[in-house]
Structure 1
């Protein structure tokens, strides 16, 4: 096990890691601003194997890219979107290998993405990316994970504005073939993200690169093009995407990835459900509303008692019963939509169910406290639902044998004594509750 890295079983429920190589130049490296705060807290399902610090560890914002990233990368936002479509035991390992201001070049001493053109190993970006990927996969396996290489995320082109569309296409196609050969994955999906529309419009020559990139899926199998949005750039900068632009690219990359991977039944994007309410008999638990995408998704529910399905509990709400006391409740939400693969998500436990609390009122006695008259216990309102009530009458605080009905007729032994009644409420899943009435007036003799 690598130093400082907990085994898979100790950190989270993640057992499988899907690996994505993030390559290209500055936008893939990460320039999306602003960053920080709760939105960029460590995600226990996203890992990285850094370019500068070669260790397997939780992913950060910015990622540990080949250069010094300053903002969020579309590799991160794509990973977040991708995980919404995956079961809880799947995580993502990002291989952050991008470097700003790089491209296809044969210039001596320059960092280059051109296969076979580097003047020294330290500037050979394709080989460096492959080595980093293989090291990252090995490190994740050593930490106890099952690892699956899933694809390459590419964002580049700004540095090759002087290149013709045909020349750029030849260099790019050669790079795709190189990655697939060296990583022993001949159908490895390769997704190209579009440069900013503002930069394409302003900088001469970028339209050639843009055209070449958009035509790649027609030239190379298992590739796809991910559009970007206008207006998603940092202030005063027409090249680098802002946080909103990177968020958009994350979703765009995911949609393109499904096309590149030839996934015909696309999984729905599904967050983990949560349970709202108190885990207590008689209360109501509700599945908190979460946003399933795309569009309108049909949801179905199944509640579980300590991992065993509860017969008939298939609604968005559930009222715990006596059978649930001491057990943990969870709910599975399944989303379905025509043209998409159904996805199920299971909530965390709602805590062990506790006994409910009966609501009750102090009883009263109706009638005249007179020998031979009829006294009636008025129990008041009890709940929730139907509560079984029982009665015991008392003569000056001593139980009267056999006086266990709702009514009682005082006898001569009661004359001059005070009568009270205790009402006891019981219901499965609730502790028994007793309430005692105020005393009736002292019993008098009958009037003849």
Structure 2
């Protein structure tokens, strides 16, 4: 074609060479060479069919046909040289033709299955982002890190669940584990997270949030299904609220050092089994100040075993990897966990580490926000009320209260990364 600068035959040859499988070509050439050196007649020629058969496992139909054509040419030349155009040569060529066509068909079917699998994986990834929404590294006064591994091969999501939601009642989060695995567990996890995200905004009381989840599960779960979960709230500075429903106790890591389990004062059954007891779960109040950390996890972490059937000692190992960066802590724990089990987990595993930022750690974001507020012209700012009670409303019309937007509700970014304010605004839509 004019204007391309490369002759058509040369371009076609380069495309053909790019699609030619190297290993099958070497195998076919090697078999032909052995037949020439051995001089054993037609003995080695049927093995030429191994070339296109092997090419079907790694190449497309075009590559298979190229290898089959090469094998047919070599087989025909050697067959004519050794036995002429007789029955033996015809049988070898017929076998090569049949194997080549069958291999090309198998290669086409394999390529189709791979495309379908790629589409399924993309859907699974979209489902993961819809169910387990990404959590920013900074949310309000907290630094957050998450690690999740599904036990099912090639899976991106399983029965473990987590979510963090900034709400008018403070930041709230949940970490849980659905009984079972596979798609049924994913469906229940999606149900729990959907109810939690809605109730976290609506209910001012954390126990009421848990009650909403319990009532929804009671209507939708089977008789043998349940969900263990820990629900955490941050209603005011210096304090955390924890409700544990049959889940593994979170690990509290004070800034002063040490690791302690947050055991429930009164154990509660998992979500979905509230009908077994009359008492509601207990609300634990924890002091949580600057530099303190809280690690939430699922049983896939603490029940992971090595070859000696020893459980992974999470509390002991997390003490080794303490750092001011939650992401570094979870990366070290996750890598060590995989090493402990020999490279593959046999159950879903989730880790969520929450760290209260020390004074000054969030100063760049706050400074940028103050700079934006200062730069606003007076004409763009909120209207000042007239008098101590504000402007008078027309007679017969109720006064509309003025709702001020807190600083944490503003939308901002830092270094191209979403801040907690942007995260709050995105979830609120």
TM-score (normalizing by structure 1): 0.22
TM-score (normalizing by structure 2): 0.23
Q: Which has the higher strand share?
A: 1
Q: Which structure would you say has the larger RCO, counting Cα contacts within 8 Å and 6 or more residues apart?
A: 2
